[in-house]
Amino acid sequence: MILTISDSEEGILNKIKSVLACESTLEVMEITNSEKLTFQGLEIDQLQRSVIKDGKVVELTRHEYDLLFYLALSPNRVFTKEQIYQHIYEDVESEVDNRVYGLVKNLRKKIEENPEEPHYIETIRGVGYRFRA
């Protein structure tokens, strides 16, 4: 799609609509009005970008927080590794599986009681991950 200065607002909107109509993998993520996502033992504050686990603040990297927030916005929805990678990272990478796996592993160490038997972030073998509420 190419937008030019001479395009009218209506022309721009029509171009965007035509691109979106062709996009079969379009994902719409709706941000809730609530400032916090609360689950058993875990609280995610959208405005402060903070996480509290059993009353204690958990220090997360930017990517770890983005991953947790992305999954927690849609509990029980399965996300592919590619969807997660595209949402979190801005670069093009051939090692999608390794980067997402490493990120999930580090996040689990910080928020799970037992990272080997995770309660919050479940692996869906051959597909990706999901957040269990």
Angle formed at CA 29 by CA 99 and CA 104, multiple of 5 degrees: 20
- Give the domain extent around 72: 9-131
The DSSP symbol for 120 reads S
Q: Any alpha helices (H) in 23-129, and if so which ranges?
A: 62-72, 81-88, 96-111
- In-domain check, residue 1: no
Q: How many domains does the chain have?
A: 1
- In-domain check, residue 44: yes
Q: 3-state DSSP helix/strand/coil percent for the chain, to nearest 5?
A: 35, 20, 45
Q: What is the dihedral of CA 29, 95, 130, 44, to 10 degrees?
A: -60
- Tokens found for residue 41: 């033992």
- Tokens found for residue 10: 């209506």
- CATH code for the domain of 107: 1.10.10.10
CA distance 38 to 52: 10
- In-domain check, residue 4: no
**pLDDT per residue rounded down to tens, the chain (133 residues):** 555 556 677 777 676 766 666 554 444 444 445 689 999 999 999 999 999 999 999 999 999 999 999 999 999 999 999 999 999 987 766 778 889 999 999 999 999 999 999 999 999 999 999 999 8
- The three-class DSSP label of residue 108 is helix
**Is-above-0.85 flag for pTM?**
no
- In-domain check, residue 3: no
- In-domain check, residue 125: yes
Q: Tell me, what's the pLDDT at 80? A: 94
- In-domain check, residue 18: yes
Q: Tell me, what's the pLDDT at 28? A: 45
Q: Tell me, what's the pLDDT at 31? A: 47
